[in-house]
Amino acid sequence: CGVFVCAYTHMSLWMMAGERQAKRVRELYFASILRQDIAFFDSSSTGDVTTRISGDISLYQEGISEKVGLIIQFTTTFIAGFVIAFTKGWKLSLVLCAVFPLMAIAGGIMAKAISNDTTKGQDAYAAAGGVAEQAISGIRTVVSFGGQEREINRYIANLEYAYKAGRKKAIVSGIGLGSMMLIMYGSYGLAFWYGSILIVNHDMSGADVLNVFFAIFIGAFSVGNAAPHITS
């Protein structure tokens, strides 16, 4: 019951805060757009502007709402897990910690690549939205000059670029997650192999080995779970 109340409070409060912030940002962004001079709209299409309001601010909302609470939750779990592990058995904990730089490198490369591809995809969708808005708002002119195919091709070209960015993002995510899982499960074998040596040498008990194992890997999984939210 206590877990339910805490989880409900945690998620609902962060999501309500995100909704309020996103509403305020949309209001300020719209007011700022209306204060721009004509030269601004010569370089930025109205479709691009409206797509930014709906798309980019939604991403901003995701990044400041429940994801912040989840990052805090996973970070505290990581810290608590490592404190418990080093308290129960520092030798085994040090050995297991040797694999985490590899996980951090894989996760960092994956997060950077995903962030870049997400930005490229958003820019392409914004450009596609601008093309669609211009074509639809001036549909009489487009039809009178027979420009339907040209506008369709412009729209498809932007969607194709966004698709390629999304496909690259999916491939990088798969490779990154696979690499992290390979390191993770390899460290499982390392933990039980070295833990058995410590038990034989009477440096640790079997219970302490299991305590260290679960504390370390719950903490490690928390870092892995936090990575996608940090990217957002």
85-101 pLDDT per residue, tens: 999 988 888 888 888 77
Task: Give 20 or 8, the one with higher predicted confidence.
Answer: 20
Does 23 score more than 70 pLDDT? yes
- Report the candidate in 191, 203, 224, 196 with the shortest Cα–Cα distance to residue 97: 191
Average pLDDT over residues 162-183: 83
Cα–Cα distance measured from residue 96 to residue 218, given in angstroms and rounded to the nearest whole number: 13
pLDDT band at 84 (very low <50, low <70, confident <90, very high): very high
Between CA 51 and CA 62, with CA 56 as vertex, the angle to 5 degrees is 140
- State the pLDDT at residue 45: 67
User: Residue 224 has what pLDDT?
Assistant: 67
In whole angstroms, give the CA distance from residue 68 to residue 2: 21
Q: How confident is the model at residue 20 (pLDDT cuts 50, 70, 90)?
A: confident
**Torsion, CA 47, CA 230, CA 185, CA 204, rounded to 10:** -170
Mind listing the pLDDT tens digit for each residue in 97-146? Answer: 888 777 777 777 777 777 777 778 878 887 877 777 777 878 887 777 78
Which of the pair, 227 or 167, is modelled with greater confidence?
A: 167
> Which CATH fold would you assign to the domain 2-231?
ABC transporter transmembrane region fold (1.20.1560)
- Cβ of 117: how many Cβ atoms within 10 Å? 21
Threshold 0.75, pTM exceeds:
no
How much helix, strand and coil, in percent to the nearest 5, is found in the chain? Answer: 90, 0, 10
Query: What integer pLDDT is reported at residue 230 of this predicted model?
Result: 62
Sequence letter at residue 147: G
Between 126 and 199, where is the model more confident?
199
Higher confidence at residue 151 or residue 226?
151
| Mean pLDDT computed over 186-197 | 88
In whole numbers, what is the pLDDT of the chain averaged over residues?
80
Check residues 7 and 216 and name the one with the higher pLDDT.
Answer: 216
